[in-house]
A and B are shown apart, each in its own frame.
Chain A
Amino acid sequence: MTAGLNNYLVLSAVLFSIGLYGALSRKNAVVVLMCVEIMLNAANLSLVAFSRFVTPVALSGQTVAIFSITAAAAEVAVGLAVVIALYRQRGTVDVNDINLLKW
């Protein structure tokens, strides 16, 4: 038995939902960034799966995935830098404690 497009899409949707749930419910900013990585990789998975099954000759989906890995790396690098800056200023990375600005 080989996995078809549907299997990959379901896996990707499940991963995306897990990542989204984690990103919205976790308190630690670093863990939120890790959950975002799960979401991005879920999207990459569905891109590659679509590319494999819908356009098997052209590698367009794989190319997008490579570039999105780069973008994700840059995003997380800046994200971690901001987390460090926040820790230096406020001594916490708990997203529940960053509440100077509201309403």
Chain B
Amino acid sequence: MLQGYGYVALFLLVSLAFAGVMITLPVLLRKFKVIPYKPSAVKSSTVECGLETTGRSWVQFNPHYYFFALIAVALDVMLVFLLPWALVLAGLGVFALVAAAIFVAILSLGYIYAWRKGVLQWK
């Protein structure tokens, strides 16, 4: 019982030590002139690569993302079923193949429906 928590404590100590070392190491290296010290405006900005951010990051997302997220969720849930199915397919035979085909076909109908209704267009 206690031994189990001991491992957790050890893990916690190691990770804290690692974080401390990673913060102090650059400072020490700079102090002993191992690495050069040349600060600039670009280097100290929040995001160093890519485009500069515009506005704040706490904005409301376009609700249109919702439709894409919904379609993605349908795919995810399909995987929840297809993964166990695929693992045991060899032992199940033709019936399971046909059943999964019907399942995927019904989901595809849903996509065709969403497509025809213009959900997939970005407006």
**Which A residues are closer than 8 A to B by beta carbons?**
1, 66, 69-70, 73, 77, 80-81, 84, 87
Chain B, Cβ-Cβ closest to A72: B77
Chain B, Cβ-Cβ closest to A59: B84
Pair A66/B4 contact, Cβ less than 8 Å: no
Q: A77-B73, A80-B66 are in contact. Are A69 and B4 (CB under 8 A)?
A: no
Pair B77/A84 contact, Cβ less than 8 Å: no
> Mask for B61-87, Cβ within 8 A of A = 1, else 0?
001001000100110110011001000
Other A-B pairs, 15, CB within 8 Å; known A66-B84, A84-B66? A1-B1, A1-B3, A66-B81, A69-B80, A70-B77, A73-B73, A73-B74, A73-B77, A77-B70, A77-B73, A80-B66, A81-B66, A81-B70, A84-B63, A87-B63
In the complex, A77→B72 CA distance in Å? 11
**In the complex, how many angstroms separate the beta carbon of A4 from the nearest chain B beta carbon?**
12
In the complex, A87→B60 CA distance in Å? 12
In the complex, A84→B70 CA distance in Å? 13
